[in-house]
Every structure is written in structure tokens, then in C-alpha cells.
Amino acid sequence: MAYPPHGVGRIAARETRVGGGAEDEEVVVVEFSNDLSVTLPLPRAHELLRPPVNEEELRLVQDTLRADVVLGDAAWPKRMQQAQEKLRRGDPLELAEIIRDGVRREQKLSPSGTPFKLSASERALTLKARDSLASEIGVVRGVGRSEADAWIDEQLEAG
């Protein structure tokens, strides 16, 4: 299952936890490849967990990464807020947008003709989006991280 804050993991258990109150709580335990596990109450799990993308959805991600877009002139604080929201939602198409736009901004030249540099926080957001998307692509395609990263790079270069 895909869990936006941590990427793709597997549901390891569904348990009933005895709480301090009168009602027991049903939870799911999601394990991730980096020895991290998260326990979520069942209603929250239904809200946050989703299946990984399928091949059809991956073609939409491919189209998004390849899209030739006009970058907006929004100030970095506004772009950062929008990117953080997209990252929180963890939608693969929105992750692809963050990656594509970050790469396109880096390829852009400043008015003086020098390459544009992303701020440290914008670069970190772009890398976090890439980590999440590559993790999901790796699971869907059954490939390692380097192959998933290479696939992302291929799509960006084809755009």
C-alpha cells in the first residue's frame, strides 16, 4: 500500500488494540523497506492508504514527467506551500509535477544567462517527491531504486 508520508509498504498485520477506554481499536500495521513500521487506526488507514499505481496510471505519470509546461512566476513561498500540499497527498501525478517542475526550473537560465539554482528547501522537496515516486515505480515495475530513478530521468529527458 502507498502511504504518502513514507512511500510504499505492505500491510503486515491487522490487530485489535485494547485501549484505556471502553472501546478496543482496530489498527493496521504497515511495514516499509527501511525497517520502519507505522500503526494506523483502521478509519485513518482507509483515509490515507491507497494501492500503488498500476501500469495505466504509470503511463499518466510518464505523460506528466514529459509534459512541456510553462513555469509560473509564483514566489517561492507560494510554490513551496503548493508543493508541500502535493507531497502530503502523495498522489503520483502530483509527485511527478513536483519533480518535473523542479528539474525544468534548474534547466532554466536566469536573466543574466547563468543556470537557475533551486533553493535548498525547493531541492529537498523535489528530492522527497522523487524518493516517493521512485519507491512506488520500483514496486509496480519490480525493479530496484536505480532502475526506477533511471526511468524517471528517461521521461524527463524525453519531454
Number of independent structural domains in the chain: 2
Residue 73 sits in which domain range? Answer: 55-158
**Cα(57)–Cα(93) distance, integer angstroms:** 8
Residues 43 and 80 in one domain: no
Residues 44 and 96 in one domain: no
pLDDT confidence of 109, banded at 50, 70, 90?
low
- Give the domain CATH number at 11: 2.40.10.170
Q: Residue 122: phi, psi to the nearest 5?
A: -70, -40
Please list the residues that pair with 11 across neighbouring strands.
30
Residues 12 and 85 in one domain: no
Residues 154 and 89 in one domain: yes
97: burial class by Cβ within 10 Å (0-12, 13-18, 19+)? Answer: buried
pLDDT surpassing 90 at residue 64: yes
User: What's the pTM?
Assistant: 0.85
Residues of the chain with pLDDT > 70, as a percent, come to 95
Give the tens place of pLDDT for each residue, 23-52: 789 999 999 877 899 999 999 999 999 999
